[in-house]
Amino acid sequence: MRELAKKNYGEYTLSITNGGAIQADYFLANLISDGAPLLHFVLTKAGKTLADITFALTEDLNAVSLENAPFGGIWTYASLKSAKIQLFIEAILAYCKEYGIRSVKVTQAPKPYDSHADLINYLFFKSGFRQESVLAHQFFLGRKKIKKFISDNYNKTQAKLKKEGGQINSAFISDFGFLDDLKRWNQAKGYSFTLDLERLVQQVSLFPERYFLISLEKRGITLGYSVGVKLTSNSMYYFLSGMDPKAPIKNVGEYMLMELFQLAMREKTEFIDLGSSDLESHANHPLMFFKSRFSNDISNKVTWIRFL
């Protein structure tokens, strides 16, 4: 990692570095996308990190936070007033202009990942960023609530699955053959299935403890898979899912989500991110309704862009 610049703003310091890994709980911030260099901006006070953001810099000098990841955005590590976050945003923009960057694009993580998310989105808007997209993520919040949900529902669901002759397991990912089934099942339902296998293999190889494969089977035949990812140490993200459209067991998706909750409880996570439910041009209301049975909150993931 090489320091590019350090700028002082009274008692605050902005440090800009490029390349190399950083210490980030959100582990995807450490992965260079398609060979693009990374720019790290860190706001500190008396040596303490208050906020940071990572950008991938494209060949045509567009800064993206974060490319080929669920989101990027500003992460905060202390209670910050609006003026301090505004200072951080303005300092980032000033450096990007000086560096000749043409645009700054940020997908801000939803609020459960960072308590300042709503304020950050507001300040992006006030700083001249244009809203490019909004996706609604459904969440189940609260470690104790997750535990109670499992206590109330898990054994009953397991008994129902056993009666149907099925069983379900979760484990770390050891091979990627399950992706062929997921692709075939989704295409059979008319859904597109686009996934960068090479990137996924790289991520799992570097961070194997963050990825979990849930599989449901009957008489040795797998009928469904889903993948849970600990994007941060206190969260579980519902990343991939698919089931055999001809499965002889009903409610396969419900069984797999229940296992995801069990996994989240075992991993002592604070919340579960069930992701967005979008079709190409409109909301996927049936999927949102299904997830509503397993969620207690909704928070938007907003993508912003500003041309310099």
Residue 125 shares a structural domain with residue 13: yes
Distances (CA, A) of 89 to 86, 124, 130: 5, 8, 14
Domain that holds residue 68: 2-135+301-307
Residue 276 included in any domain: no
CATH number of the domain that residue 119 is part of: 3.40.630.30
Residue 117 shares a structural domain with residue 7: yes
pLDDT number for residue 193: 79
Residue 148 shares a structural domain with residue 256: yes
Residue 223 included in any domain: yes
Residue 274 included in any domain: no
Residue 285 included in any domain: no
Residue 203 included in any domain: yes
Residues 121-158 have pLDDT tens digits of: 999 999 999 999 999 999 999 999 999 999 999 999 99
Residue 112 shares a structural domain with residue 197: no
Count of domains in the chain?
2
pLDDT number for residue 112: 97
Residue 130 shares a structural domain with residue 67: yes
Residue 177 shares a structural domain with residue 90: no
Residue 289 included in any domain: no
Residue 114 shares a structural domain with residue 181: no
pLDDT number for residue 192: 77
Residue 40 shares a structural domain with residue 93: yes
Evaluate if pTM is beyond 0.75.
Answer: yes
pLDDT number for residue 68: 83
Residue 147 shares a structural domain with residue 126: no
Which pLDDT tens digits describe the chain residue by residue (308 residues)?
688 889 999 999 999 998 765 678 998 887 655 667 889 999 999 999 999 999 999 989 999 998 888 999 999 999 999 999 999 999 999 999 998 999 999 999 999 999 999 999 999 999 999 999 999 999 999 999 999 999 999 999 999 999 999 999 999 999 999 999 999 998 888 877 788 888 888 899 989 999 999 999 999 999 999 999 999 999 999 999 999 999 999 999 999 999 999 999 999 999 999 999 887 788 889 999 999 999 999 999 999 999 99
pLDDT number for residue 197: 84
pLDDT number for residue 4: 86
Residue 224 shares a structural domain with residue 244: yes
Residue 6 shares a structural domain with residue 127: yes
Residue 288 included in any domain: no
Residue 229 shares a structural domain with residue 253: yes
Residue 249 included in any domain: yes
